[in-house]
């Protein structure tokens, strides 16, 4: 509400209060409507409309002047309501904008955190693959866990523990039941690939996928640790993949 509106309404209320107190006895003896009586006395006290005109304007029609004054007061009150409603709407819109901004900022921050975590995981896996490639040429020894010699399951367990901080089962058969199953078409670097090289109907060999349809494994005492393709012989004995 504007300062002018406050002054007008305050003056009106004070005038009505004084009029009601000064004319209480007259109100009890008159036959006119109480509200109409108080209103006329109030408007008369406020603007000189009680039968004797004190202004420089023409006052030949008291009823018309009274109506004009009342209309002016009502217009002031309505304008004050509109101003208040505008203020409330502006406040609500500001709160909505602030809430939306906070929510959008939260989404952006969560996305940034997710991207950072994915980047860290990718970097760790890249380092793990590089470490795995450094083992190529080392000898195969059944039951060996590294770092100078490995068997197939000992090699992948060594890489996962030292480079990725994950402790996975020791033997290939147990490793083939650990983690999340992965379709061949969905293989990613670091996934473990399993084979039935003993032709006994169960997993007996494991390697680590490095991309481009290739994997690294501790093959046998003759070849040691080497890189192979998931084709030919290994495609025939392939038995699935897991992501620890």
Provide the annotated active-site residues.
152, 205, 217
Radius of gyration of the chain (CA): 46
Distance (Å, whole) CA 31 – CA 117: 86
How many other CB atoms sit within 10 Å of the CB of residue 156?
A: 25
Distance (Å, whole) CA 156 – CA 176: 12
Range 161-171 burial, b when 16+ CB lie within 10 A, else e: eebbeeebeeb
Distance (Å, whole) CA 75 – CA 62: 20
Strand ranges for the chain from DSSP E: 180-182, 192-195, 205-211, 214-218, 225-229, 238-243
My answer on whether omega of the bond before 147 falls inside 30° of 0, hence cis, is: yes
């Amino acid at each position: 509400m504007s300062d002018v509106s406050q002054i007008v309404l305050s003056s009106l209320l004070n005038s009505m209060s004084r009029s009601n107190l000064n004319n209480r006895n007259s109100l009890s003896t008159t036959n006119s409507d109480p509200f109409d009586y108080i209103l006329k006395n109030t408007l008369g006290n406020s603007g000189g409309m009680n039968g004797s005109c004190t202004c420089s304007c023409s006052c030949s029609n008291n009823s018309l002047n009274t109506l004009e004054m009342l209309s002016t007061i009502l217009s002031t009150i309505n304008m004050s309501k509109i101003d208040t409603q505008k203020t409330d709407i502006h406040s609500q819109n500001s709160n909505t904008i602030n809430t939306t901004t906070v929510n959008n900022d939260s989404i952006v921050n969560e996305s940034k955190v997710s991207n950072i975590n994915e980047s860290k995981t990718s970097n760790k896996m890249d380092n793990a693959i590089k470490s795995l490639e450094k083992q190529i040429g080392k000898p195969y020894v059944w039951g060996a866990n590294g770092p100078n010699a490995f068997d197939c399951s000992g090699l992948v367990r060594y890489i996962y523990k030292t480079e990725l901080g994950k402790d996975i089962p020791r033997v290939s058969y147990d490793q083939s039941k650990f983690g999340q199953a992965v379709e061949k078409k969905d293989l990613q670097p670091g996934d473990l690939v399993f084979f039935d090289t003993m032709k006994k109907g169960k997993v007996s060999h494991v390697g680590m996928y490095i991309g481009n349809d290739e994997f690294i494994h501790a093959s046998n005492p003759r070849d040691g640790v080497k890189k192979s393709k998931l084709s030919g012989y290994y495609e025939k004995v392939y038995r699935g993949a897991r992501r620890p």
